[in-house]
A and B are shown apart, each in its own frame.
Chain A
Amino acid sequence: MRLTPACVVISKWGQKLDNLWAWIDGFADGGGEHAALFVELRKIIGWLPALIEASWITLALTVTSVVTALVFSVFLALGKIARVQSQRTKSIGQLVTRGITTAIRWISSGYVFFFRGTPLLMQLFFIYFTLPLINPVFNIKSRFAAAWIAFSLNIAAYLAEIIRAAIQSIPKGQLEAARAVGLSYMQSMRLIVLPQAYKRMIPPVCNEFIMVLKDSSLVSIIALTDLTYKTTMLASNKASSLVYLPAMAIYLVMTAFFTVIFNRAEKKLGGYE
């Protein structure tokens, strides 16, 4: 009984869609003044299912890469700003700690320098084509996995800088107050500084996310069937460049969707202000 209304709604919509098709067909085949336009429109709608299917790859690659990179980049950011908090002593233990801390700082900085300073395209090539040549162990069969690894590594470098800037924008007094009530450095970071920094990260992370969504089109170079790859295939096969229009529209829809999500998250996290 409960399902009936839903079915009715769907069949109603189905009917309306059929009507729409009939309407477009009428114009396209009617040979009227604008018939050519409707022929194109019919083609565009015809491409949509294939484009939408390919956009799932784009979406999946973007989301998994950004999420992986987010986790990794928090550590990179903390690594970049790592300092031994306590005052210098004569103990060997502290000397070792200082050495390790300096090493962590250098490695983190070096990582960010490398992955921000070289083209993502080359990093992708390197991981997919060159690494297997160096050692077969690195032969990543799945194009998606290769793209995911390259993107995650690259995005992490950018996100690390965003996170570092957000952490450093939190007033020093917050860390001092946390330390004054006895919290350790890591506890202060986790409970006091990072939660406040998250809100400030959201606009730049959103920006980065949208860049990645579009940069993911680079994967067409390793023949991963994302939205861009599918679009270029269709464009060459059917000799109609108009396929770029629905493809760009899908990019816009995805961008708009995530912009809204990020805006909501920012409002929610900033509830205390």
Chain B
Amino acid sequence: MSMIRCEKCNKYFGSLHVLQDVDLTVEQGEVVCVIGPSGAGKSTLLRSLNQLEPLYSGKILIDDELLLHCEKGVIVESASRRDRKRLLLEMGMVFQSFNLFPHKTALDNVMLAQQIVRGTNTETAREIAMNLLVKVGLEEKADSYPLRLSGGQQQRVAIARALAMQPRMMLFDEPTSALDPELVGDVLRVMKDLAHGGMTMLVVTHEMGFAREVASRVIFMADGCIAEDNTPAELFDHPQNPRTQQFLTSIL
């Protein structure tokens, strides 16, 4: 059963063709890492999946249900409004720049959407939030405001915030790229735990060690296309596409 499926997805920024006929399937429980040079369209792919960016054309299916089908920038077919909301909530998103709500404590950041969107009562929401903060190792920071936390701590709160909506898949857009090197490990550890817990994950990352160790598949993206899609061992050790070879040499 596939959790995420894009079919022939296209996206333009003005005349820039950012996604070019992208086909991508992520099966349940898979951890798919997306690598590639800056400007390849990795963020745009993730953002199009959860509707932060409108698609130009193509189909997106979540959990084997049609989320939407676009042609020429117009949605020609889509799930009902309620289903669309439900399907979008099945995807949690973690951003490169954390985007925590600075005027809310760590705990409130994790509680807020549960209460507003799901109508969960305060006690239950707090319990879920505290459990998640324990899971990311930050229970003692529950009452701290984000700006008083380190980048690594903020990102872990952001992961907890996304998990609080009980998504069935998580999208990560370079979750460690804005972090000081010594803080990257803590975030990656939380992500590894998630992956081992069976979470379906689509991860844009430059952490090749993480991709090699955790990913079930690695995708190399360049110029809006998926240039190569293979197991980590194959892709890292025997890249087929010359662009992949070039990219891997350049980062090593």
Contact = CB atoms under 8 A, between A and B. Distances in A.
Contact of B78 (A89, A171, A183): A89
Interface string A137-176: 0000000000000000000000000000000000101101
Contact of B99 (A89, A90, A174, A191): A174
Interface string B120-135: 0000000000000000
Nearest to B52: A176
B137 interface: no
| Main secondary structure on B side of the interface with A | mixed
A273 B112 CA distance: 19
A177 interface: yes
Given A177-B100, A196-B102, A191 B54 contact: no
Given A87-B75, A191-B116, A182 B99 contact: no
Contact of B93 (A87, A171, A180): A180
Interface residue tally of chain A, by bracket? 20 to 34
B117 A183 contact: yes
Contact of B75 (A89, A179, A187): A89
Interface in B40-98: 50-52, 54-55, 68, 70, 73-76, 78, 85, 88-89, 92-93, 95, 97
Contacts, number: 82
A273 B102 contact: yes
A182 B119 CA distance: 12
B76 A90 contact: yes
Contacts of B52: 176, 179-180
A195 B103 contact: yes
A273 to B, nearest CB: 6
A91 to B, nearest CB: 9
A7 interface: no
Contacts of A182: 85, 88-89, 113, 116-118, 165
Contacts of B113: 178, 181-183
A187 B117 CA distance: 9
A192 interface: yes
A183 B99 contact: no
Contacts of A196: 101-103
Contacts of B102: 196, 272-273
Contacts of A192: 101
B145 A180 contact: no
Contacts of A34: none
A171 B158 CA distance: 16
Given A87-B54, A182-B165, A273-B147, A177 B78 contact: no
Chain B CB within 10 Å, residue with most, of A86, A171, A182, A191:
A182
Given A176-B95, A177-B95, A88 B101 contact: no
B95 to A, nearest CB: 6
Interface string A183-196: 10001000110011
Interface in A235-260: none
Contacts of B145: 272-273
B56 to A, nearest CB: 10
A222 to B, nearest CB: 43
Contacts of B54: 87-88
11 contacts: A86-B51, A87-B51, A87-B68, A87-B74, A89-B75, A179-B52, A183-B116, A191-B116, A192-B101, A272-B103, A272-B104
Interface of B: 50-52, 54-55, 68, 70, 73-76, 78, 85, 88-89, 92-93, 95, 97, 99-104, 112-113, 116-118, 145-147, 158, 161-162, 164-165
Q: Which are the 10 A-B pairs with shortest beta-carbon distances?
A: A177-B99, A181-B113, A182-B117, A173-B99, A87-B54, A180-B93, A89-B75, A272-B145, A88-B74, A182-B89
Given A88-B74, A272-B147, 17 more contacts: A87-B55, A87-B70, A87-B73, A89-B75, A171-B97, A176-B95, A177-B158, A177-B161, A180-B93, A181-B92, A181-B112, A181-B117, A182-B88, A182-B116, A196-B102, A272-B104, A273-B147
Interface of A: 86-90, 171, 173-174, 176-183, 187, 191-192, 195-196, 272-273
